[in-house]
A = this chain, B = another copy of it.
Amino acid sequence: MSKTKTAVVLLSGGIDSAVAAALARNQDFEICALTFDYGQRHRWEVTAAAALARSLAVARHSVVKLDLRTFGGSALTDDIEVPRNRPPENIPLDIPVTYVPARNTIFLSVALAWCEVLQAQDIFIGVNRVDFSGYPDCRPAFIEQFERLAQLATKAGVEGRAVFRIHAPLMDMSKAQIIRAGHRIGVDLSLTHSCYDPEGEGLACGRCDACILRRRGFEEAGVLDSTRYAAAR
């Protein structure tokens, strides 16, 4: 089947967005992958995103620079310490200091701009509410509201030439389910990066929330985790 539809896929370099991209590909979308270099502490994920874009054979990959360090306010973009060694069962319960204000709103807005230029109407985002229920912009109500905004915000939407859809196919999946799905459809998970505060060359710390959820996810999924972690458990 020839791919006639184009989708903009937010590709961070982590597991979730890589699996979301592969799911888009399996729905016969031609993928235009969008990555942000936003001054994140774990800038290594931008390198991971480039490797994943190649591995997923995307049609185009854009890396947009936008320095959110200008405002700070998050442990990922500011001199706030990244939490360590939190019990995994506590991670989803509160909004952590690693929350980056309005991040997904900004990312979806830029994706929408690219969509309009490409004359596309589909955006894929790898958010899920299971492990990130504390993040307001990882919930269905937010995604639905953005979809409505997209329709009103764009020339194509207002003129009735496009019906924008924000796809969040991982919304209700646990990390283990996402890893299992990715493994099944051939995502090279060894290329993904999760750690919020890596040591040199993307070496995962093993103790931040992202490392803890990743480790546990691979274990629960029964999939080999090839990640090198600096800290043993």
Residues of A within 8 A of B (CB): 62, 64-68, 70-73, 95, 99-106, 108-110, 112-114, 116-118, 136-137, 139, 141-142, 145-146, 148-150, 152-155, 157-159
Contact = CB atoms under 8 A, between A and B. Distances in A.
Contacts of A149: 105, 142, 145-146, 149
A71 B108 CA distance: 14
Going nearest first, the 6 A-B pairs with the smallest beta carbon separation are A73-B117, A102-B113, A101-B116, A136-B158, A101-B113, A106-B109
A12 B39 CA distance: 23
A1 B70 CA distance: 30
Contacts of A148: 145
Given A67-B65, A73-B117, A155 B95 contact: yes
Contact of A64 (B66, B72, B152): B66
A159 to B, nearest CB: 8
Given A62-B71, A102-B112, 11 more contacts: A71-B117, A73-B113, A99-B155, A102-B154, A106-B106, A142-B149, A142-B153, A145-B145, A145-B149, A145-B153, A149-B149
Contacts of A136: 152-155, 157-158
Nearest to A74: B117
Contacts of A137: 153-154
B102 A71 contact: no
A146 B158 CA distance: 15
7 contacts: A72-B117, A73-B117, A103-B113, A139-B152, A142-B149, A145-B153, A149-B149
A132 B13 CA distance: 39
Contact of A116 (B65, B73, B104, B157): B73
